[in-house]
Amino acid sequence: MIEASPRRLLVFKSVVDLGGFNAAADRLGIAQPSVGAHVKALERQAGQALLMRHRGTKPQLTEAGRIVYTMAVDVIRLSEEASMRLANMKAQQTREVVIAAHRDLAVSFLPPYLSRFSKKHPRSRIVTRIGTIEDVLALVESGTVQLGLLLSSGPVQGLQSQIVGQEPLHLVVGQHHPLARSKNITAADLRKQPFVTGLRDSRYFQMVDRALRSIGMVDYSVALELQESASVREAVRHGPSIACLPGCTCEGDLNAGTLVSLDLAKPLTPLQIRCVYGAEPSPVAQRFIDVLRSA
C-alpha cells in the first residue's frame, strides 16, 4: 500500500512531466537530492522501480511507474479541488453571519436592522435561526451560530454579550378587564388577579417573574402557562387574566386597543436586548452588532 503525501506525488509527477530531476528541482524550488529522495521513497513503497534512468536521456516510466503516475495525477487534482473549495468556503464565511434570534425579537425588532445591514453591506449575507431563549443559547454555545439575539435582565453566564437595546415590559389586560382604566395600580391590586405566563421552567418565565417581584409581586396566581407569546395575548384578550409582555410582542394590540397596558404605581424595569456570542465576533458579525447598536 502506497501512503504518499500529495507533495511527494507532486515531486514524482514533476520529474515525469518536466523530463528530469534537475528540471523538477528548479520548478519546485528544492534541491536535486531532495527530488531523488522523494522518488526513492515512492519506489521503496511500491517495491520496484518506477523510472528507467539512463545517463543523457529523460527518465522513462516503468509499468509500475505508470500506475503511480496515474495515482499522482488523481491525488493532486483532488487535493487542488479540495483546497479551492475550502478557500471558497472560507471566503464565503468571511462575508456571512449566522444569527439565532429569540422569536419575540425575530418578528418585530430584527427585520429593520436586517434591511439596514443589507443596504450598508450588500456583499455580506445573513442567515437567521429562530427559537426560544434556550434554543438561542444552545446554538451559540455549540458554535452553530455566531451571534444570538435575546431578551435578558442581565449578563448571560458563560457567554460574552453586548447590550444593543432595551425593551419595555407591560402588564396587559383585555379592554374590558376591571383594571383596564384604573390608575396607579399597586401590587395589592394585582395580587387579586389571575396571570397568564410562559412555561414555569423557562428562562423567559424566570425573567418576567424577576420583573414582577421588583414591583412587589412576590406571590401571584398563575392561571395559565403558555409557550407562545401569541397564545398569551389571545388568552388575555379573551379572558380575565393579566400578562407581563415585552412591548415588541404586543405593540400592535396596544395601538389597536384590543389590549390595554396597565397604569402601574411602580413601573416595570425594561428588559435588555443582548447580542451574545461565545468567541470574539468575526469582522462581519461585529459590523452587524454595530448596526444594531447604532439605533
Q: What percent of the chain has pLDDT over 90?
A: 54
Q: Take residue 181 and report the three cell numbers written for it.
A: 382604566
Cα dihedral sign, 221-224-225-228 = negative
Q: What is residue 269's DSSP assignment?
A: P
Judge whether 147 and 100 are in contact, CB under 8 Å.
Answer: yes
Mean pLDDT throughout 34-55?
Answer: 89
Give the span between the Cα atoms of 218 and 14, in whole angstroms: 79
pLDDT for 79: 83
Judge whether 157 and 187 are in contact, CB under 8 Å.
Answer: no
Q: What are the CA-CA distances from residue 112 to residues 40, 143, 149, 229 (Å)?
A: 65, 25, 14, 21
pLDDT for 271: 94
At 172-207, the pLDDT tens digits run: 999 999 999 999 999 999 998 999 999 988 999 999
Q: Take residue 246 and report the three cell numbers written for it.
A: 415585552
- How many residues comprise the chain? 295
Q: What percent of the chain has pLDDT over 70?
A: 96
Give the span between the Cα atoms of 255 and 239, in whole angstroms: 19
Mean pLDDT throughout 105-114?
Answer: 90
Burial 187-196 (b: 16+ CB within 10 A, else e): beebeebebb
pLDDT for 28: 85
Whether 95-166+272-294 and 6-93 are alike in CATH topology: the answer is no
Q: Take residue 130 and report the three cell numbers written for it.
A: 429562530
pLDDT for 90: 59
Q: What are the CA-CA distances from residue 211 to residues 103, 148, 152, 192 (Å)?
A: 20, 22, 11, 18
Q: What torsion do the CA atoms of 9, 10, 15, 19 make, to the nearest 10 degrees?
A: 130
pLDDT for 295: 64
At 244-261, the pLDDT tens digits run: 999 999 999 999 999 999
Q: If you average pLDDT over every residue of the chain, what do you get?
A: 89
At 264-286, the pLDDT tens digits run: 999 999 999 999 998 888 888 88
Pick the closest to residue 2 from 45, 50, 61, 44 (CA basis): 45
Map out the domains of the chain as residue ranges.
6-93, 95-166+272-294, 169-269
Would you say residue 107 has pLDDT above 90?
no
Mean pLDDT throughout 217-244?
Answer: 91
pLDDT for 94: 56
pLDDT for 91: 47
pLDDT for 263: 96
pLDDT for 244: 95
Q: What is residue 161's DSSP assignment?
A: E
Level-2 CATH architecture, domain 95-166+272-294: 3-Layer(aba) Sandwich (3.40)
Cα 264 to the chain's mean position, in Å? Answer: 38
Predicted confidence band of residue 171 (pLDDT cuts 50, 70, 90): very high
State which CATH number among 3.40.50.10490, 2.40.50.140, 3.40.190.10, 3.40.1010.10 fits the domain covering 169-269: 3.40.190.10
Would you say residue 87 has pLDDT above 60?
no
Q: What is residue 205's DSSP assignment?
A: H
pTM, entire model: 0.67
CATH number for the domain running over 6-93? 1.10.10.10
pLDDT for 149: 95
DSSP of 78-146: HHHHHHHHHHHHHHHHHTEEEEEEEHHHHHHTHHHHHHHHHHH-TT-EEEEEEE-HHHHHHHHHTTSSS
pLDDT for 92: 53
Q: What torsion do the CA atoms of 78, 84, 87, 91 make, to the nearest 10 degrees?
A: -140
Sheet harboring 96-102: ordered strands across?
125-131, 96-102, 147-152, 271-277, 160-167
